[in-house]
Amino acid sequence: MKLKKTKTKQIIEQVEILEAAAEGNCIAKVDDLVVFVPYVVPQDVVDLEIYKKKKNFAQAKAIRFHSHSPLRTEPMCNHFGVCGGCKWQNMNYQSQLTYKQKQVRDNLERIAKADCSKMMSILPSAIQKEYRNKLEFTFSTKSWKQDYDKDAIDNGAFGFHVPGFFDKVLEIDYCALQSEPSNAIRNHLRDYCSKRSLPYYNIREHSGLMRNLIVRTSTTGDVMVIVVFAQRSEEIVPLLENLRENFPQITSLMYCINEKFNDTLGDQDIKCFAGKDHIEERMTSFDGKGELRFKIRPKTFYQTNSLQAEKLYHQAAEFAGITKDDIVYDLYTGCGTIANYVASLSKKVVGIEYVEDAVEDARLNSEFNNINNTTFFAGDMAKILTEEVIEQNGRPDVIITDPPRAGMAESVINQLLATKARKIVYISCNPATQARDLVLLQSKYAVGRIRPVDMFPHTQHVENIVELILK
């Protein structure tokens, strides 16, 4: 390993990449300095150019490869390294699983000091391509090009936001994350907009017409398309008619006129132009003898890997060990997928969620499946999960909690502890915040089985399930 310094650059030669790390980066060590490097693989030997340096760590990019790791594989996408997604697609899948499992163990042992002796092997995803049921694309007057020419005319782009640039979008020709007709619809819409000279959205000036495209698919074959416009226009109906005529496989064609400065649609009126106002997803029941059906509306949250979601819920239910006499509380229930999944196993399920629309979806899905032993509440978790509500609905024997990435508020954790439920099953998409919450939960609960689940192949993200048993 050799260090070279120039007036403008610091180059470190022949550095071995040691292991995968957070945010899709990998780690190298130079003396006592930890260096984070993207788009490399453990066991690569590279020259690094440091572009940011702090006291204890640095960030660098690989500028030359001396040898390639045996863990490498050919990226599945020609946008790899630019769009910012799927940062691990140059690493073979088995190695991805190994490092995800290590990520979970490291967080639980380091932060929570948890006993990981009952950790099970990570549950792999059955498919590693076209596993996402939802993708969102952006129209922008500002395009990102690797070979930038300041004098060239910028015709904008339709694709994904580039990390670090809120107004620049990378043109996407093909994305391997979602099945067809996702790519076909996006490319057709791009051509249509070009022929009609429809202006893309300018986020700085808040001008233009074309803003976003959302494509949702399901294992049933349903396809939902939501076109988001920045303003009203006579061009909207012809565009939607064109999509309807050219893509008869679209079962739910929706549109929205979002005149706000941000892209969130939670407070927007999404209208149905053609077809149903929802798509349908199906899931095999816990006992494998039946199936559950879920209506997914434009704003409904559903796990983005449908096939793996079924495995995730099955494992969570297995950890829960629910009996017919049990009252189950499902916290952060969303559209009630977990609540409805475990309803047949239990006496009663109480679902709590802060988003009112999601609770409405949960109730609809119970009705859709002829489930009559579920009750749902909407509101702040800390205000809903009270002794009064528990007295009215029964004390929980089992609690299943699946909070957002930020984890649970301390006040909610204290309320969980006060319930003295026999078991808590904690599902998390962020092992670090899960470990932080376990620090408090372990005052009354012992960590039992642990099962990481890979929901997002080719990314650093991992779900994890922890079984907590009342001491």
pLDDT digits (tens, 9 = 90+) for 125-152: 999 999 999 999 999 999 987 555 555 6
Return the residue matching tokens 């899709």. 24
pLDDT value for 165: 74
Closest by alpha carbon to 128, among 185, 77, 71, 68? 77
Q: What is the mean pLDDT of residues 25-42?
A: 92
The predicted pLDDT at position 1 comes to 54
149: Cβ contacts below 8 Å, ≥ 6 apart: none
Tell me the two tokens of residue 414.
């204290």
Residue with the two structure tokens 């940062």: 87
Is residue 5 scored above 70 in pLDDT? Answer: no
The Cα–Cα gap between 82 and 332 comes to: 34
Residue bearing tokens 């199906």: 282
Query: Is residue 6 over pLDDT 70?
Result: no
For residue 165, give the amino acid letter.
Answer: F
CATH class, domain 134-280, is mainly beta
Could you write out the DSSP letters of every residue in 417-441? HHHT-SEEEEEES-HHHHHHHHHHH
* pLDDT at position 148: 55
pLDDT-derived band at 164 (thresholds 50, 70, 90) equals confident
Closest CA to 263 of 342, 331, 169: 169
pTM for the predicted model, two decimal places: 0.93
Confidence label for 54 from pLDDT (cuts 50, 70 and 90): confident
Nearest to 97, CA basis, from 376, 460, 375: 460
As a whole number, the mean pLDDT across the chain is 93
The confidence score (pLDDT) of residue 81 equals: 85
Q: Is 338 in a helix, a strand, or coil?
A: helix
Helix axes 410-419, 431-441, angle to 10 degrees: 50
Model pLDDT, residue 154: 78
Specify the amino acid at residue 343. A
Classify 57 as helix, strand or coil.
strand
**Mean pLDDT for the stretch of residues 300-322:** 96
- For 297-431, list the strands marked E by DSSP: 327-331, 348-353, 374-378, 398-401, 423-428
- pLDDT band at residue 26 under the 50/70/90 scheme: very high
Contact 86, 458 (CB under 8 A): yes
Q: Which of 51, 38, 115 is nearest to 82 (CA)?
A: 38
pLDDT at 163: 79
Model pLDDT, residue 151: 58
Active-site residue flag, 429: yes
DSSP secondary-structure letter at 48? E
Range(s) for CATH 3.40.50.150 in the chain? 97-127+304-470
Cβ-proximal residues to 426 (8 Å cutoff; 6+ apart), any chain: 401, 434, 437, 438, 441, 465, 466, 468
Question: Per-residue pLDDT for 57 more than 70?
Answer: yes
Q: How confident is the model over 97-112, as a mean pLDDT?
A: 97
Looking at residues 1-23, what average pLDDT do you find? Answer: 78
Q: What is the pLDDT of residue 326?
A: 98
Q: Are 305 and 328 in contact (CB under 8 A)?
A: no
Q: What is the pLDDT of residues 293-309, one digit of tens each?
A: 999 999 999 999 999 99
The burial class, CB within 10 Å (0-12 / 13-18 / 19+), for 387 is exposed
What are 457's two structure tokens? 């192949």
For the stretch 249-288, pLDDT in tens is 999 999 999 999 999 998 999 999 999 999 999 999 999 9
Contact call for residues 394 and 327 (beta carbons, < 8 A): yes
CATH 2.40.50.1070: which residues of the chain? 134-280
CATH class of 97-127+304-470: alpha beta
pLDDT bucket at 23, cuts 50 / 70 / 90: confident
Assign 84 to helix, strand or coil: coil
pLDDT at 366 over 60: yes
**What letter does residue 343 receive in the DSSP assignment?**
G
Q: Which residues of 167-184 are buried (b: 16+ CB within 10 A; e: fewer)?
A: ebbbbbeebbbbbebbbe
User: For the domain with range 2-67, which CATH number is right: 1.10.1040.10, 3.30.450.20, 2.40.50.140, 3.30.720.200?
Assistant: 2.40.50.140
Distance CA 91, CA 40 (A): 8
Say what percent of the chain tops pLDDT 70. 97
In degrees and rounded to multiples of 5, residue 105 shows phi and psi of: -60, -45
pLDDT class for 8, splitting at 50, 70, 90? low
In the chain, list all ranges with CATH 2.40.50.140.
Answer: 2-67
If DSSP codes are grouped into helix, strand and coil, which group holds residue 398?
strand
404-435: pLDDT as tens digits: 999 999 999 999 999 999 999 999 999 999 99
The average pLDDT across 216-225 equals 97
* pLDDT value at residue 167: 81
Residue 84 reports pLDDT greater than 90: no
Per-residue pLDDT at 55: 82
Whole-number pLDDT of residue 9 = 76
Give the per-residue pLDDT at 400: 98
Amino acid at 56: N
Mean pLDDT of 4-30: 84
